[in-house]
Amino acid sequence: MKDTTTSPASNSMETVERRIVALDGFRGLGTVVVVISHFYGEVQHGIPALMLGWIAVDAFFVLSGYLIGRLILDKSKHKNFFRVFYIRRICRTFPIYFFCIIAVFYINGVFHPETTYTEEANFPLWSYMAFLQNFWMVSYDTIGQHWLAPTWTLAVEEQFYLIAPAMIVFTPRRFLMPVLVSLVALAVVSRIYFLTTSETSSLAAQVMLISNGDVLVAGIIAAVALKTWKLDWARYDQFLRVAPVVLLTATMALAMVTGSSSPLFQTLAQTMVSAAFALMIMSLVRGSPEAARYENKVWCFFGNISYAVYLTHLATLGILHNVILGTAPDIATPAQIAVTTLALPVTVLTSWILTKVVEEPITSYGRSFKWSKETVERQTQARPAAQASANS
C-alpha cells in the first residue's frame, strides 16, 4: 500500500510534494507486529502478550483511510479522477492478491490442510475473488480457510474504495465532517448490535465494513483536518504526540478491567485505538521527532513488502509445518519453534520476490495513467487556501 502524501512545510500548511518516509516505516512496523502475533501469539500454545495483530490491523485501516482521503481531497478536481483512481487501485491491489488467492487454493488441494485445521470451512474461490469472503465468514460463523483468514481486511478495504471517493467528492464540504463523525457513531452502534443480538454471528462485529467504519473514517478525518482546517497546527503538535499514548494506555487499562473478550471492550477499543493512530499519523505527517524512528531502513523495507507479507505469511507458515512436521503451526516444542522461526525469512524472501516481480511492475503501469490537466469545479468543494498535490 505504497501511497504517498504530502507533508506540511510550515505552520501555514504550505506543502511540497514528497513522500512521507515515516508512514512507510509505520506500515512496516505494523506488518512485523502482525506476523509475530500470528506466528508466536495466535497459535494453540502461543504467548498471549504477543497477540497484538488486531491493533496493527487497525493501524493499517487508519493509514489507508488517511492516504486515500488525502488523495481524494487533492485529486478529485481532475476531470478524469474516478477513472484514474480506480485504474490505479486495481493495478495496485488486484494482481498480487489474485495470484496469492489462486496459489493458496491450489496448494490447499495438494496439502489437504483439513488434516491440521479441522474447523475450516471451504468458501468458494469466487467469494475471495469478488472480495466477499467477509460475508461468507458471517454467514458460516467461521474464518474459512485458515491461510486466507487475513484477507477479510482486504475485502473491507475494497468495499471501502467503492464508497469513499463518491462520498467525499459529492458531500458538500460544510457537511463532510458531520457525515464522517456520524459514520463513526454508526460503526460503534453496529458493533453493539452484532455483539448483543443472536440473529447474526458475532464475527460481523469484526469483519464487516460497517463495523470497521470508524477505523477507516478516522484516517479520513485526519486527512480532512490537516487539509482543510486553517489552524496554527504548531500549537497542537504536543497534543498530537501525547494523545495517542494516553488513548492506547487507556485501551490497555480497559482490557485489564473488563477483559479483552467483553462486549464493552470490543465495542470501544476499536474506536479508541483508531483515534490514537489517526492522531499519531497526523503527528508523523507534521514531522514530529518520532517520525525519525519510523524512517529506519528496516521498517521501511517491511513497509515496502507489507502487502505481499500480509498475503503470504500464514500460508508460508502452514506449508512449512505441514511439510516438515505434518502438524498445524504451534510453538509447543523446540521443533515447532524452529520451523516457525524458519518461516520468517522464507516469508520475507517470498514477499520480496512477489513485490518485485508482480506488484511493482503492475503498480508502475497503473501510475502511467495520469491525472488530466482539465479540471472541474465541483460545487460541493470549497478550495482551501493552500493546495498541494500528492502522488497516488
Please say whether the beta carbons of 243 and 279 come within 8 A.
yes
Ranges 31-35, 245-249, 381-385, 386-390: which has the least confidence = 386-390
Rounded Cα–Cα distance for residues 220 and 68 (Å)? 7
Distance of CA 112 to the CA centre of its chain: 30
**Residue-level pLDDT at 119:** 52
Range of the domain at 73: 7-367
Rg of the chain on CA atoms, in Å: 21
Residue 271: φ, ψ to 5°:
-70, -40
Please say whether the beta carbons of 240 and 8 come within 8 A.
no
Q: Residue 389: inside a domain, yes or no?
A: no
Reported confidence tier of residue 265, pLDDT bands at 50, 70, 90: very high
Burial grade of 153 (CB within 10 A; 0-12, 13-18, 19 or more): buried
More confident residue, 380 or 248: 248
Helical H runs in the chain? 21-36, 53-75, 81-111, 125-129, 133-140, 152-170, 173-196, 204-207, 213-228, 237-258, 263-285, 291-294, 297-304, 306-324, 334-354, 360-367
**Which candidate, 6, 79, 66, places its Cα nearest to that of 386?**
6
Q: Residue 287: inside a domain, yes or no?
A: yes
**Alpha-carbon separation of residue 330 from 38, 117, 200, 327, 337 (angstroms):** 10, 12, 31, 8, 7
Q: Residue 121: inside a domain, yes or no?
A: yes
Structure-block grid coordinates of residue 331? 510453538
Residue 375: φ, ψ to 5°:
-120, 165
Rounded Cα–Cα distance for residues 339 and 184 (Å)? 42
- Across the range 176-190, mean pLDDT stands at 96
Q: Residue 222: inside a domain, yes or no?
A: yes
* Amino acid identity at 321: H
* 66-82 pLDDT tens trace: 999 999 999 999 999 99
* 109-156 pLDDT tens trace: 776 654 455 456 678 999 999 999 999 999 988 888 888 999 999 999
- Across the range 344-373, mean pLDDT stands at 95
Report helix, strand or coil for 153. helix
Distance of CA 221 to the CA centre of its chain: 16
Residue 391: CB partners within 8 Å, gap ≥ 6?
3, 4, 17, 19
Q: Residue 297: inside a domain, yes or no?
A: yes
Please say whether the beta carbons of 276 and 244 come within 8 A.
yes
Rounded Cα–Cα distance for residues 25 and 212 (Å)? 23
∠ CA 343-307-298, nearest 5°, is 70
**Residue-level pLDDT at 380:** 53
Assess whether pLDDT exceeds 80 at residue 159: yes
Rounded Cα–Cα distance for residues 80 and 286 (Å)? 30
- Across the range 184-192, mean pLDDT stands at 96
Ranges 110-124, 180-194, 355-369: which has the least confidence = 110-124
The total number of structural domains that make up the chain: 1
Structure-block grid coordinates of residue 314? 500464514
**Residue-level pLDDT at 347:** 97
Q: Residue 47: inside a domain, yes or no?
A: yes
Q: Residue 387: inside a domain, yes or no?
A: no
**Residue-level pLDDT at 18:** 56
78 DSSP assignment: B
**Residue-level pLDDT at 111:** 65
Assess whether pLDDT exceeds 60 at residue 383: no
Q: Residue 380: inside a domain, yes or no?
A: no
More confident residue, 97 or 4: 97
